[in-house]
Amino acid sequence: MADATADHSATGSLQVLGRAVILLGPPGAGKGTQAQRITQWYRVPHLSTGDMFRDNIRRGTELGLKAKPLMERGELVPDEIVLSMVEDRIAQPECRDGFVFDGFPRTVVQADALEQICQRNHLGPTVVIHMKVDPDLLMRRLTGRRICKGDNHIYNIYDRPPAVEGICDVDGSELIHRPDDTEGVISERLLKCGASHAGVLCQRP
């Protein structure tokens, strides 16, 4: 995938994804970046359960009304509701040629259910991309990360520093170091992540 932004329709190749792509990996592995490349290349949507919740709540659907009070109280939304939303979303024509899912499924039960939903919607076997990155490199990426207060522009003090220390090149706003990008917090997240891989899935940051 040398040029993910290429307009492949111009080359005459008609590549149809025809399936779900799931990205797994520790925080900082670059799942978001890869998801964006795949969705641009295949012209498929990038799904997230967060967007589905927001959409259902905005439209006042039955599922949205059930999920809203749980989310407001910070409680876990049960699988039954999550999976119904996922099923509705995948049944939409926009998902006919496949899609990329980031942050879902998180459990084996959800993964099995997703596979069945895909089959019902005539999609091929799901592709799972498990991203592995050297823990030292992840630590460097995350501890070095700085985010601008203005518009969330992302920098890295080691690999992609701003022209002026602590200041965003684009909009001049202050760059901040998120409290969960410190070494202690990251080690804990990476440990948790490693442990859950045996059971398939890894938590998002």
Minimum Å gap between C-beta 147 and Zn ion is 8
Give yes or no: 178 in active site. Answer: yes
Among positions 8, 68, 96, 153, the unique one binding Zn ion when judged by CB under 5 A: 153
Stretch that binds Zn ion, among 10-18, 45-53, 98-106, 160-168 (CB under 5 A): 160-168
What distance in Å separates the CA atoms of residue 167 and residue 22, rounded to the nearest whole number?
A: 35
Residue environment code for 165-191, b if the CB has 16+ CB neighbours within 10 A, otherwise e = eebbeeeeeebeeeeebeeeebeebbe
HEC sequence for the chain: CCCCCCCHHHHCCCCCCCEEEEEECCCCCCHHHHHHHHHHHHCCCEECHHHHHHHHHHHCCHHHHHHHHHHHCCCCCCHHHHHHHHHHHHCCHHHCCEEEEECCCCCHHHHHHHHHHHHHCCCEEEEEEECCCCHHHHHHHHHCEEEECCCCCEEECCCECCCCCCECCCCCCEEECCHHHCHHHHHHHHHHHHHHHHHCCCCCC
Residue 150 is a binding residue for Zn ion (CB under 5 A): yes
Catalytic entry in 141, 146, 189, 204: 189
Give yes or no: 145 in active site. Answer: yes
Residue 148 is a binding residue for Zn ion (CB under 5 A): yes
Site size toward Zn ion (CB under 5 A) is 7
Minimum Å gap between C-beta 145 and Zn ion is 14
Binding mask 54-83 vs Zn ion (x if CB under 5 A, - otherwise)? Answer: ------------------------------
Minimum Å gap between C-beta 150 and Zn ion is 4
Residue 151 is a binding residue for Zn ion (CB under 5 A): yes
Minimum Å gap between C-beta 154 and Zn ion is 9
Of residues 27 and 162, the one with the C-beta less far from Zn ion? 162
Catalytic entry in 31, 89, 146, 204: 31
Residue 171 is a binding residue for Zn ion (CB under 5 A): yes
User: Which residues belong to the active site?
Assistant: 31, 106, 145, 178, 189
Residues in the site for Zn ion, rule: CB under 5 A?
148, 150-151, 153, 168, 170-171
